[in-house]
A = this chain, B = another copy of it.
Amino acid sequence: MKTYFDCVPCFVRQVLDSVRMTTDDTRLHEKVLREALSMASEMDLNQSPPAMAQKIHQFIRKMTGISDPYLDVKNRFNKLALQMYPDLRMRIDTSTDPVETAVRLAIAGNIIDFGVNSAVESSQVERTIAESLTDPFDRESLEVFKHAISRAEKILYLGDNAGEIVFDRLLIEQLPCEKITFVVKGGPILNDAVMEDAQIVGLTDVVDVIDNGSDAPGTILENCSETFRRRFDQSDLIIAKGQGNYETLSDVDKNIFFLVMPKCSVLARHLGREIGSLVLSGSNHSHFAEGS
């Protein structure tokens, strides 16, 4: 997905939110704000929004000297989600369609996204998770998704944020884990999950976890490690979580299912869905249709 004009003011606001979260030094706020405006004035709008976000966050980390500004936020939401885990696991196990319940929860967990909203509250997460169990949901896509998983041999599950990965774990526990490799980011970017988060929430005990070698808040293939790209090519099914992965992979010709809760009007319009809705969207079902 390209960067739309409407992404630009939102990007400037996000930069301001991020640098304020990183330091109280208003001179640094101003320096980063001016640099972001200058970068944005010359940005390639054919790039996806995460490409620009990656550059400015590298700049913020360099300016502030803080390598992982969102560490506290990540730990807080890992903890919150782990507290919710036992109850949600029971709900899944006792539901009539455990995979559907787990998919709903995994999408709802995408609310924990500090890229779009720098003031996510735990109460909001709890409400979103509760509502996701009864929100409208596209069961037809779910059946296609289930079928794709049963036929796939190598599945790459691209994670998004810390905290959210607990909900990914709940879903993966309902799927054939042995087929799945979970992917975290190669370095700190916003509140995106890195290897340490996967260890903290016990995901490494459930499934193979690798990192993608990149610190972009999405999956910019040419920016990822060669190892990751090989795994990506070899996989016959990609499960991509969250807005950043959608923005960077929506135009990639691959069998991808996007699990995302759209949190801005540009993405909602692009998906043809409402802000805050549960989206399970296959990018290219024809890969399977052609083979069957």
Contacts and interface: CB of A to CB of B under 8 A. Distances in A.
11 contacts: A5-B16, A5-B30, A6-B16, A8-B16, A8-B33, A9-B12, A9-B16, A30-B45, A34-B41, A37-B38, A38-B41
A91 interface: no
In the A-B complex, the 8 residue pairs with the closest CB atoms:
A37-B41, A9-B13, A9-B12, A38-B41, A37-B40, A9-B9, A34-B41, A37-B37
Interface residues on A, range: 20 to 34
Interface in A231-266: none
A34 to B, nearest CB: 5
A42 interface: yes
Interface in A1-53: 5-6, 8-10, 12-13, 16, 26, 29-30, 33-35, 37-38, 40-42, 45
A9 B6 contact: no
Contacts of A16: 5-6, 8-9
Nearest to A19: B5
Given A12-B12, A37-B37, 20 more contacts: A5-B16, A5-B26, A5-B29, A5-B30, A5-B33, A6-B16, A8-B12, A8-B16, A8-B33, A9-B9, A9-B12, A9-B16, A30-B45, A34-B41, A34-B42, A35-B41, A37-B38, A38-B38, A38-B41, A41-B41
Interface of A: 5-6, 8-10, 12-13, 16, 26, 29-30, 33-35, 37-38, 40-42, 45
A2 to B, nearest CB: 12
A19 to B, nearest CB: 9
A49 to B, nearest CB: 14
A33 B4 CA distance: 11
Contact of A8 (B5, B10, B35, B37): B37
A33 B37 CA distance: 11
A16 to B, nearest CB: 6
Contacts of A38: 37-38, 41
Contacts of A29: 5
A9 to B, nearest CB: 4
Nearest to A35: B41
A56 to B, nearest CB: 12
